[in-house]
Structure 1
């Protein structure tokens, strides 16, 4: 950071240029307020019983004291200008005191609900925690589900092409189908065979007939009929199905999207 060494002997040459230099140094240091966001609370501004205490806020990179009071929906910036009399006896406006407070001037105001407060752990600690949560994406292997269009994939991300048309399965070392990470398997349809069915029959009744093969009406016996009859036998039905069956879909109801992953080196 720029600085003056005021410890040198001989009478420091103090003039307006020195003051401007000091002002520029202060503005440079104050630019760090941008890290807190466009509207934030640096200290104070504690809400209690419908009122908010005094504090310090940031509005668009400018650090301002906040004058508390009854909580309102909007915040404005007040500026009080003060004139000083110079050595040439001319009064000039040179002092500006800017303060944020509740109000609405109808010109430029800011919603109080948009002011964010940093937590007690601090910005750097929060960044460390956030980076820890995002660490799976720092190298190959991490990906997230994206339901937007290919054209709108965020900068620095790309589609995981190898995962097109596939569902994720958690690996299981005890199951031969899932015992290796990255193993590919499964099918979206299947053709049933007899080997897929439990052994079974479909019973049906054959009509009762006389010994010459004539079927009695209603397949019922009459008490005065002495002709020899064959009882109704149980037989199997004829074959059903197709010699070239259509594969059966095994896909559940779905909505398509895609997996995306960070492009290696983009965020380094």
Structure 2
């Protein structure tokens, strides 16, 4: 509704109740700006200087109100002043109800924290920020890329991975923790067809091995010896040793053993490598 009242006319403008009602109705239209701005917003003024705030215009519950400013306190309230006038019938009645916002305390429901008020930017500044903001196409592209990142990092997010860490444990980044499962171990792939590697999480192997008789290949080193003393006996001189068969007729055969000379010490089977730590996610 657009109202244009022609006050500047000759003959005397009739200030009737109808005219005053039209003026008040026209004024209430401006309160729509309060709904647009929102509850607890600063439309103008209210500039802080030291411990004080300058007067200005604020919105509380959709009403556009004058703010008196002054020395800052934690809360503000709406002060209502009722102005009485004498009517033509000589009776005094409340004609004007004037509301202003002040620093101070009041009853619950009529008091708000000053820190909750927000200063609105101008429409020009808002439009500049909107124009500089990402478009819907940009957001769609970001979402598509983010979806891919979530798919690729799913093993990390659910704690199903461990990474080797070459720096001191004191430098592990936030969101990660030491993984102690792999201390002194290497990693083998699960193989359900191999009994050694068929159970997930099982510790296998050793960095040393002791050779037993079961580990020695099955082989024979044959040799033969004989004495020419005419009989088999201990102490007779060994005169003939043959690797490919028994001694000639008339000689007596003897069996000899070779001592291994070993001491049964475990053998190192550790491959050459670098010592590192392992870390795992600690996001939860």
| TM-score relative to the length of structure 1 | 0.53
Could you tell me which residue of structure 1 aligns to residue 221 of structure 2? 211
1:4 CA displacement: 3.5
Is 1:113 matched up with 2:119?
Answer: no
CA contact (8 A) 1:75 1:112 kept: yes
- Deviation above 4 Å: which 4+ runs of structure 1? 7-13, 137-140, 204-210, 212-215, 252-256
| Residue 141 to residue 99, structure 1, CA distance change in 2 (3 Å) | same
Match of 1:228 in 2: none
Greater Cα radius of gyration, structure 1 or 2? 2
RMSD: 4.4
Partner of 1:129: 129
Matched with 1:2 is: 2
Please tell me whether residue 104 in structure 1 is matched to residue 114 in structure 2: no
Question: 1:61-99 deviations in whole A, cap 9, x for unaligned?
Answer: 211111122211110000111111111111110111111
Which runs of structure 2 are paired with 1:1-268 in the superposition (5 Å)? Answer: 1-6=1-6, 12-107=13-108, 108-119=110-121, 122-130=122-130, 132-137=132-137, 141-143=141-143, 166-167=151-152, 211-212=221-222, 216-219=259-262
Distance 1:100 1:88, change over 3 A: same
TM superposition shift of 1:9: 7.4
What secondary structure sits across from 2:84 in the alignment?
A: strand
TM-score of the superposition, structure 2-length normalised? 0.50
Query: Hey, what's the Cα distance between the residues in 2 that align with 1:215 and 1:49?
Result: 103
Where 2:125 maps in the other structure, the secondary structure is: helix
Mapped contact 1:40–1:57 kept (Cα < 8 A): yes
Q: Is there any run of 5+ residues in structure 2 with no aligned partner, and where?
A: 154-188, 192-208, 224-256, 264-279
Query: What secondary structure is seen at the aligned counterpart in 2 of 1:104?
Result: coil
SS of the residue 1:166 aligns to: helix
Contact 1:82 1:94 in 2 (8 A): yes
Change (3 A) 1:23 1:210: same
Closer/same/farther in 2, CA of residues 253 and 64 from structure 1, 3 Å limit: same
Length, aligned pairs only: 180
In structure 1, what is the Cα distance between the partners aligned to 2:145 and 2:106? 45
Unpaired runs of 5+ in structure 1? 147-159, 169-189, 193-203, 221-251, 257-268
Is the CA contact 1:42–1:56 (under 8 Å) kept in the aligned structure 2? Answer: yes
